[in-house]
Amino acid sequence: MKKILMGFLAMFLFVGVVKAETSETLKEACQAEGLTCNHTDKAYDESLPSVYIFRGDGCPHCIALLQFMSTIADKYKVNIVVYEVKNDKDNWNFYKKVGAKFKQNVSGYPFTVIGDKTIDGFGTAETTGKEVEEAIKTLVATEEPYDVVADVLDDPVETISRGPVLAFIFGIIAVIGAVLGYRIMTKN
């Protein structure tokens, strides 16, 4: 009986560990940093290309990038998807996988992915900001831009899908429950 209880505990701990990556909108990321951003908070649109920002809470360069992106967000028809990687282990692992797709050993933030271009860090609006904006213009002008980050998200080898794992675990729990129930019923 003790082994069965330990098995249940291990399964529930495993369920707590399995988690999908979680993204934020630009507006949510700005709010998390206490910034007042005046851009429109648009819903994700699959028909638009995406700009991805990997950031760390409290990082001054990340905050500067968020502020800059807020000033240009309404100028371009793109999704801006933000991942907080400093405090989220799953996002950090995802960030490392994205970096590996670009053959980069990423470790700092912010890290921005715009089409097939990456930009490490953020200096000023006049320097890095211009580079970001030019990359976005190129992305928007590209007829069918390649989305590396979406490929990592869609690759079942790269990303653990929570649904099948949870279904498997709950299936095991149901079988164990049925066996235990049968044993209890037959002893009485």
The radius of gyration computed from the CA coordinates of the chain, to the nearest angstrom, equals: 22
Could you tell me which of 133, 135, 136 has the C-alpha nearest to residue 125? 133
Establish if 173 belongs to a structural domain: no
Q: Is 34 exposed, middle or buried (0-12, 13-18, 19+ CB in 10 A)?
A: exposed
Establish if 36 belongs to a structural domain: yes
Choice among 49-53, 99-103, 120-124, 171-175 with the minimum mean pLDDT? 171-175
Choice among 18-22, 26-30, 77-81, 96-100 with the minimum mean pLDDT? 18-22
Bigger pLDDT: 44 vs 20: 44
CA 85 to CA 177: how far, in whole Å? Answer: 38
Establish if 29 belongs to a structural domain: yes
CA 177 to CA 12: how far, in whole Å? Answer: 14
Mean pLDDT of the chain: 82
Establish if 165 belongs to a structural domain: no
Average pLDDT rounded to a whole number, residues 161-166? 50
Establish if 13 belongs to a structural domain: no
Query: Which range is most confident: 74-78, 154-158, 168-172?
Result: 74-78
Residue 174 pLDDT > 90: no
Choice among 17-21, 70-74, 81-85, 167-171 with the minimum mean pLDDT? 17-21
The one-letter code for the residue type at 168 is: F
pLDDT value of position 18: 40
User: What separation in angstroms does the CA of 123 have from each of 59, 68, 69, 136?
Assistant: 12, 11, 13, 17
We report the CATH number of the domain holding residue 106 as: 3.40.30.10
Q: How many structural domains comprise the chain?
A: 1
What confidence tens digit (pLDDT) does each residue in 69-107 have? Answer: 999 999 999 999 999 999 999 999 999 999 999 999 998
Average pLDDT rounded to a whole number, residues 50-67? 96
Establish if 180 belongs to a structural domain: no
Rounded percentage of the chain residues whose pLDDT exceeds 70: 77
pLDDT value of position 171: 64
pLDDT tier, 148 (very low <50, low <70, confident <90, very high otherwise) = confident
pLDDT value of position 156: 56
Supply the pTM of this predicted model. Answer: 0.73
Please give the residue range of the domain that contains residue 131: 19-159
